Amino acid sequence: MDAFAEYRRWLENVRDDELLADLRSIEGDEEEIRSRFSRHLSFGTAGMRGILAAGTDRMNVYSVGRATQGLADYINEEFGGGSVAISYDSRIKSEEFARETASILAANGIKAYLYSRLMPVPMLSYAVRELKCQAGVMITASHNPSQYNGYKVYGSDGCQMTDAAADAVLGKIEAHDYFSGIKSEDLSEALSSGRAEYIPDEVCESYYRALMTCRVNPDIPGKDSSISVVYTPLNGAGNEPVRKVLSMCGFNDVTVVPEQENPDGNFPTCPYPNPETEEARRLGLELCEKVKPDIFIATDPDADRVGVAFPEKDGTFRSLTGNEAGILMLDYILRGATENGTLPERAVAVRSIVSSPMTDEIAANYGVEMRVVLTGFKYIGEQILHLEQAGESDRFVFGFEESCGYLGGSFVRDKDGVYASMILCELTGYYKSRNTTPLEVLDSLYDKYGYYRNRVANIAFPGADGIEKMQAVTAGLREKPLSEIAGFKVVESDDILRHEHKAADGTVTPIDLPASDVLVYTLENGAKVIVRPSGTEPKMKLYICAKEDSAEKSDRLGEELEKATREAAGL
């Protein structure tokens, strides 16, 4: 693509005053023009995501329009028409993009179901299934910085689109120009004619009722298990549904961080609204020092992820990693279901390949099968679908990813921060009624299963050539395979892209996982190192899992393995 010719074409064709002013502001800036116009914003199984600005490699009303026209063409060809559910979060332009999506779908003869106000990812996934739609669109950039937005596409099963479907949609998108051939109509006319419809409140109420069926101990909170909660929606879409569900459960002592309560796509107190980070949790933790709650929870802007912290004995708060929260939740769910006699026969839990293998031991302790899938919650949703197709969806008890994503029940097929907030509050009350705390329980689990420590390193690769540079890293590791890391011999390795598992004796056997640019190294001491490019951000990710007989030793080993891996990979 000739970036400068495309830039001039946008100057001639853009009719949006804000985008036109943006285009004029970069006139003469050759590097910025190349960055914005050297390629199209990529579209894959997670849809597309990018910085809000004018350009072919940016998120704007024209890139949304082109993507939606491609999606409409795909639905009309594949299904002969149908319907699409649409939701959006608090990000800048989210509502505008959602309405544009509905207008284009309606003009293409596809019924557009649109939430009348911002709603989170899990409620979009639920609506797709409840309304029997052929697809769903969530306007969000999840936990990315405030200058980003995105367009996440779901299939009829409520999961993010499969590789095959995303490729088919991409083919339709590529057949369209940004400024012509996009069918659209006024949304008010589409609503009055019935070609578009606001999603009924009953769908929300049905989702809340479904969540109540996931409770492990519905009698919590009782007189000995009432708790206080500090919660922050990080200026996102979680405020209404999280507080609603906690109230339905009886958790009424909830203090919301005031600066982060209302929707605000600028995220003024934390420009990177990721509940995994201390920056995003800072204001909430400061409020905890005054309120002294039993639990602090934070959801990201589209409320599919949740972060959590609990008070130590000295009153300070300890933030859990995504893995630690998953460990605590899995053990609570299986423990409670076992006590109550509600654990299904041949129960199944699912984790991503980069999440803590400590959960494998916990699942085995309760006689539960743990399935391991690639990173991406669609693969967890896919496992639920397999069970559903076999008439066994009730076997699924829990799924999680280390990046603070959790799911229970089979009615949603993506991460559900509303569900996770409910379960975390419930387990807090449960342990309080037994004169213990979640942190004491977590420490006892480490004593029982070993001190698993997981580290995640994110190495940024900004710029137009970031993806190529990341691919070069993994290509280099394939060309010169690692034989040792930090002095520990590599005894097994997995190349998911090539579907190859290399055993200690050198035997190579096939791996039954979809192709993905992931390298896994198992060391002689049992530690694991995983290298993969992020699927949603320009970052290379290193996952280190170390297990020793103390937290200190595990932490030290993890640091050594990360340093050695960075050096070996040239990071």
In this predicted structure, which of 199-203, 265-269, 322-326, 565-569 has the lowest mean pLDDT?
A: 565-569
Question: What pLDDT shows up at residue 133?
Answer: 98
Stretch 344-371: mean pLDDT, rounded?
97
| 21 pLDDT more than 70 | yes
**What are 432's two structure tokens?**
């309080």
Largest pairwise CA distance in the chain: 70
392 near 312, Cβ under 8 Å? Answer: no
| 310 pLDDT more than 90 | yes
Residues in contact with 133: Cβ distance below 8 Å, sequence separation at least 6, in sequence order? 82, 83, 84, 85, 113, 127, 156
Question: What pLDDT shows up at residue 464?
Answer: 65
265 near 254, Cβ under 8 Å? Answer: no
Judge if pTM exceeds 0.75: yes
**Would you list the DSSP string of 50-88?**
EEBSSSTTSBSHHHHHHHHHHHHHHHHHHHSSEEEEEEE
Question: What pLDDT shows up at residue 536?
Answer: 67
| 224 pLDDT more than 80 | yes
Q: CA 493 to CA 488: how far, in whole Å?
A: 13
Considering the domain 451-569, what is its CATH architecture? Answer: 2-Layer Sandwich (3.30)
84 near 257, Cβ under 8 Å? Answer: no
251 near 294, Cβ under 8 Å? Answer: no
Q: CA 533 to CA 561: how far, in whole Å?
A: 18
Q: CA 218 to CA 37: how far, in whole Å?
A: 54
Stretch 399-419: mean pLDDT, rounded?
96
pLDDT classification of 341: cutoffs 50, 70, 90: very high
pLDDT tens for each residue of 495-550: 999 999 999 888 999 998 888 899 999 999 999 999 998 866 778 999 999 999 89
Percent of the chain with pLDDT over 70: 99
From the list 510, 490, 511, 493, the residue with the least C-alpha distance to 502 is 493
In the three-class reduction of DSSP (H, G, I as helix; E, B as strand; rest coil), residue 168 is classed as: helix
Residues in contact with 239: Cβ distance below 8 Å, sequence separation at least 6, in sequence order? 233, 256, 261, 262, 263
- In what order do the strands lie in the sheet containing 317-319? 254-256, 229-232, 295-299, 306-311, 317-319
- The label of the residue with tokens 């009624």 reads 433
Residues in contact with 25: Cβ distance below 8 Å, sequence separation at least 6, in sequence order? none
In 10 A of CB 274, how many CB atoms? 21
- The label of the residue with tokens 């914005």 reads 36
Q: CA 51 to CA 214: how far, in whole Å?
A: 37
* DSSP H/E element including 92: none
| 332 pLDDT more than 70 | yes
pLDDT tens for each residue of 364-374: 999 999 999 99
In 10 A of CB 346, how many CB atoms? 10
- Which residue intervals of the chain bear CATH 3.40.120.10? 3-201, 227-449
Alpha-carbon Rg for the chain in angstroms? 24
Q: CA 96 to CA 484: how far, in whole Å?
A: 52
Q: Where does residue 416 rank: exposed (0-12), middle (13-18), buried (19+ CB within 10 A)?
A: buried
Q: CA 86 to CA 124: how far, in whole Å?
A: 7
Q: CA 535 to CA 544: how far, in whole Å?
A: 18
422 near 211, Cβ under 8 Å? Answer: yes
| 338 pLDDT more than 90 | yes
**What are 434's two structure tokens?**
């037994």
Stretch 88-112: mean pLDDT, rounded?
98
Per the prediction, the chain carries an average pLDDT of 95
Question: What pLDDT shows up at residue 229?
Answer: 98
**What are 566's two structure tokens?**
């960075």
Q: CA 113 to CA 28: how far, in whole Å?
A: 43
Work out the end-to-end distance of the chain between its first and last CA atoms, rounded to an integer number of angstroms. 30
- Which residue intervals of the chain bear CATH 3.30.310.50? 451-569
pLDDT classification of 163: cutoffs 50, 70, 90: confident
CATH of 227-449 among 3.40.50.300, 2.60.420.10, 3.40.120.10, 3.40.50.720: 3.40.120.10
Helix axis angle, 417-433 to 322-340, nearest 10°: 60
Percent of the chain with pLDDT over 90: 89
7 near 31, Cβ under 8 Å? Answer: no
Residues in contact with 2: Cβ distance below 8 Å, sequence separation at least 6, in sequence order? none
CATH class for the domain made up of 3-201: alpha beta
Residues in contact with 253: Cβ distance below 8 Å, sequence separation at least 6, in sequence order? 226, 227, 228, 229, 293
- The label of the residue with tokens 């004491």 reads 440
Question: What pLDDT shows up at residue 570?
Answer: 87
In the three-class reduction of DSSP (H, G, I as helix; E, B as strand; rest coil), residue 93 is classed as: coil
Reported in sequence order, the residue ranges of 235-280 that DSSP labels E, i.e. its strands, are 254-256
Write out the catalytic residue numbers. Answer: 142
Residues in contact with 456: Cβ distance below 8 Å, sequence separation at least 6, in sequence order? 354, 402, 541, 542, 543, 544
In 10 A of CB 389, how many CB atoms? 10
pLDDT tens for each residue of 26-51: 999 999 999 999 999 989 878 999 99
487: left (phi over 0), alpha (psi -120 to 50) or beta: left
**What are 450's two structure tokens?**
């070993």
Supply the DSSP symbol for 406.
Answer: E
pLDDT tens for each residue of 446-484: 999 999 999 989 898 877 678 888 889 999 999 999 999
